[in-house]
């Protein structure tokens, strides 16, 4: 999964093809015995979970950058 500077744009989430997405929804609904609305809700929740994962990874990366910055500042301070 990508992080802040290495992830696909939201437009690429479904290969920028609404028709493929709709066909996928219909296929999933049929294969799992769900209504189209139920299938859309499941996909929506899946996207939210993915979004939370992305944000968590981005925050972790930001935390590492801040820690590295603090370490560098501490080393500079020790040299003074």
Query: How many CB atoms are closer than 10 A to CB 36?
Result: 13
What b-and-e string marks burial along 5-32, b requiring 16 or more CB atoms within 10 Å of the CB?
eeeeeeeeeeeeeeeeeeeebeebbeee
13-35 average pLDDT score: 84
pTM of the predicted model, to two decimals?
Answer: 0.53
Tens-digit pLDDT profile for residues 49-69: 988 888 888 888 899 999 999
Tens-digit pLDDT profile for residues 37-48: 999 999 999 999
Is the confidence at residue 14, as pLDDT, over 60? no
């Amino acid at each position: 999964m990508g992080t802040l500077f290495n992830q696909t744009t939201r437009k690429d989430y479904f290969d920028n093809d609404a028709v493929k997405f709709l066909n996928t929804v219909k296929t999933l609904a049929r294969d799992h015995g769900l209504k189209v609305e139920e299938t859309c809700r499941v996909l929506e929740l899946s996207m939210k979970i993915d979004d939370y994962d992305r944000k968590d990874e981005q925050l972790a990366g930001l935390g590492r950058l801040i820690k590295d910055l603090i370490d560098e500042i501490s080393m500079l301070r020790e040299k003074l």
